A and B are shown apart, each in its own frame.
Chain A
Amino acid sequence: MALFQAILCYVFGALALGAALVMVAQRNPTYSAFALIVTLVSLSAVFGLFGAPFIAALQIIVYAGAIMVLFLFVLMLLNVRTEVRAPGEGRVFKLVAIGLGALLVGEIGSVLVAARPALAGGFDASARQVARLLFDARYLYVFEATSILILASLVGAIALAKRDPSS
């Protein structure tokens, strides 16, 4: 059972990694969006295998369901074409970017490898337990504040995307 779980973790992890690479390599934004959906769904499976069923469901509903539909909607709305390669990019900048990127990966990697995580027994992360913590006094006000954030972003999105009536 544990072996099966581990195999599934690696399969979905590899799927997420491959789809992410496709997303970055792809020039057509619509294909990138579909690759990102594959990544998000695979990551949701990994979340479920790591004992987070509530977050796995939220990932499907909010990310793959709502956010990616919004992205695809905008892509269809704006009639996006495949991007063209810009002429004459600075070679020096590219080298500096690769160096800084390697530095970032090395830094985070050294921290993660040094972390040496343990494994807690008796882990229960059902929706009931997560909700108990979410509505705890520590997180209750933050939780309520997110509703104001959502309302603000709703009003902001409408105000920004609205066509100016004077023009």
Chain B
Amino acid sequence: MSPTLIQHALLLSLALFAIGVVGVFLRRNVITVFMCVELMLNAVNLAFIAFSRAWGNLEGQVLVFFVLTVAAAEAAVGLAIIISIHRHKDTLDVDAFSLMKW
């Protein structure tokens, strides 16, 4: 374990976050978009773990614990909303969900 390795972990976290952002804009399927959001959350978790190791501080890991909890709650509610919308519109295309769009 060396500082360079931590630096590279931070760059990996950046790359994963960027891939998640690209996916959110590129994909049209609402479930895939949702999975890209999960990927972004995980990229941030990796940054937390790397910083936690760098400074020998466990609070980063506690924050990752809370992020995991919130991600689980968010996935449950989000997928329930997707099921509910799919029942009304019979599609999963994000462009079809424009009810609350101005």
Residue of B9, B14, B23, B83 touching A78 (CB-CB under 8 A):
B83
Complex: A143 Cα to B15 Cα, angstroms: 30
Residue of B15, B29, B58, B80 touching A29 (CB-CB under 8 A):
B29
Query: Would A24 and B49 be within 8 Å (CB), given that A55-B65, A130-B58 are in contact?
Result: no
Cross-chain contact A36 with B39 (CB below 8 angstroms)? yes
Query: Would A129 and B58 be within 8 Å (CB), given that A71-B35, A83-B28, A104-B18 are in contact?
Result: yes
Cross-chain contact A125 with B52 (CB below 8 angstroms)? yes
Is A97 in the interface zone, CB < 8 Å from B? yes
What's the minimum C-beta distance from B54 to chain A, rounded to whole angstroms?
Answer: 4
Residues of A108-162 whose CB lies within 8 A of B: 108-109, 112-113, 115-123, 125, 129-130, 133-134, 139, 142, 146, 149-150, 152-154, 156-161
Cross-chain contact A119 with B54 (CB below 8 angstroms)? yes
- How many residues does chain B have at the interface if contact means C-beta atoms less than 8 Å apart? 75
Complex: A55 Cα to B62 Cα, angstroms: 9
Is A11 in the interface zone, CB < 8 Å from B? no
Chain A residues with CB under 8 Å of chain B are: 2, 5-6, 9-10, 13, 16-17, 20-21, 23-24, 29, 32-33, 36, 39-40, 43, 46-47, 50-52, 54-55, 58-59, 62-63, 66-67, 70-71, 74-75, 77-78, 80, 83, 86, 97, 101, 104-105, 108-109, 112-113, 115-123, 125, 129-130, 133-134, 139, 142, 146, 149-150, 152-154, 156-161, 163
Complex: A6 Cα to B70 Cα, angstroms: 31
Residue of B1, B2, B23, B59 touching A24 (CB-CB under 8 A):
B23
Query: Would A54 and B56 be within 8 Å (CB), given that A21-B19, A29-B31, A71-B79 are in contact?
Result: no
Residue of A62, A120, A156 touching B54 (CB-CB under 8 A):
A120
Cross-chain contact B61 with A120 (CB below 8 angstroms)? no
Cross-chain contact B6 with A20 (CB below 8 angstroms)? no
Cross-chain contact A13 with B8 (CB below 8 angstroms)? yes
Is B102 in the interface zone, CB < 8 Å from A? no
By beta carbon, the residue of chain A nearest B87 is A163
Is B100 in the interface zone, CB < 8 Å from A? no
